């Protein structure tokens, strides 16, 4: 992507993305899906069988840059696994929870990390509908 030498020098070939030593490493991947759409995700391997991987374990900004370039080349659309909080309406990534206990804890899919701490009020409960039972 940088079309330059590795930031880490000779040891860069042995650097692992999960260690985050390089400024480009992160939690995001870019996939070309069977529907010919580009997917930016922080959830790992996509549920639909992907056709091709363009980036693994990079920062969000790097993933977006790669996806933008590929969309222009392929004439396709970008999708993400970013979510919208049902309480505040803000967008968040599931990877924001990975540093906290239990990625699959109830409510993580519907509430950003900040709002998750507050529980469910009456207005939010109405917006969730039947899902409120899974977000306690």
Domain for residue 24, yes or no?
Answer: yes
Report yes or no on 4 lying in a domain: no
Q: Which residue has the higher pLDDT, 26 or 64?
A: 64
Instruction: Establish if 9 belongs to a structural domain.
Output: no
**Which ranges of 36-81 would DSSP assign to H, the alpha helix?**
60-74
- Domain hosting 129: range is 83-134
Full-model pTM: 0.74
Work out the pLDDT band at 61, boundaries 50, 70, 90.
very high
Q: What is the mean pLDDT of the chain?
A: 79
pLDDT value at position 46? 79
Is 122 contained in some domain? yes
Beta strand 50-58 pairing with 25-33: antiparallel
CA 107, 85, 55, 26 dihedral sign is negative
Between residues 128 and 44, the one the model is more confident about: 44
Within-domain flag for 61: yes
In a domain, 5, yes or no: no
| pLDDT band at residue 131 using 50, 70 and 90 as cut-offs | low
Q: How many helices (H) and strands (E) does the chain have?
A: 3, 6
Compare 112 and 132 and report the one with higher pLDDT.
Answer: 112
Question: Are 102 and 130 contained in the same domain?
Answer: yes
Q: What whole-number distance in Å separates Cα of residue 32 and Cα of residue 12?
A: 26
* Structural domains in the chain (count): 2
Same domain, 99 and 125: yes
Same domain, 92 and 124: yes
Strand-strand pairing, 50-58 and 91-92: unpaired
Please, are residues 132 and 120 in contact by the beta-carbon 8 Å criterion? yes
Tell the residue number behind the tokens 């790097």, with chain if given: 62
């Amino acid at each position: 992507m940088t079309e330059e030498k590795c930031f880490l020098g000779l040891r860069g070939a042995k650097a692992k993305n999960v260690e985050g030593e390089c400024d480009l490493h992160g939690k995001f991947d870019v996939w070309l899906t069977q529907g010919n759409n580009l997917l930016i995700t922080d959830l790992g391997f996509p549920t639909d069988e992907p056709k091709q991987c363009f980036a693994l374990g990079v920062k969000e900004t790097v993933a977006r840059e790669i996806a933008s370039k590929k969309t222009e080349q392929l004439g396709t659309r970008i999708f993400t696994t970013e979510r919208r909080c049902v309480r505040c309406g803000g967008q968040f990534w599931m990877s924001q929870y990975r540093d906290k206990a239990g990625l699959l804890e109830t409510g993580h899919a519907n509430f950003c990390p900040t709002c998750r701490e507050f529980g469910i009020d009456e207005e939010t409960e109405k917006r969730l509908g039947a899902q409120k039972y899974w977000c306690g």
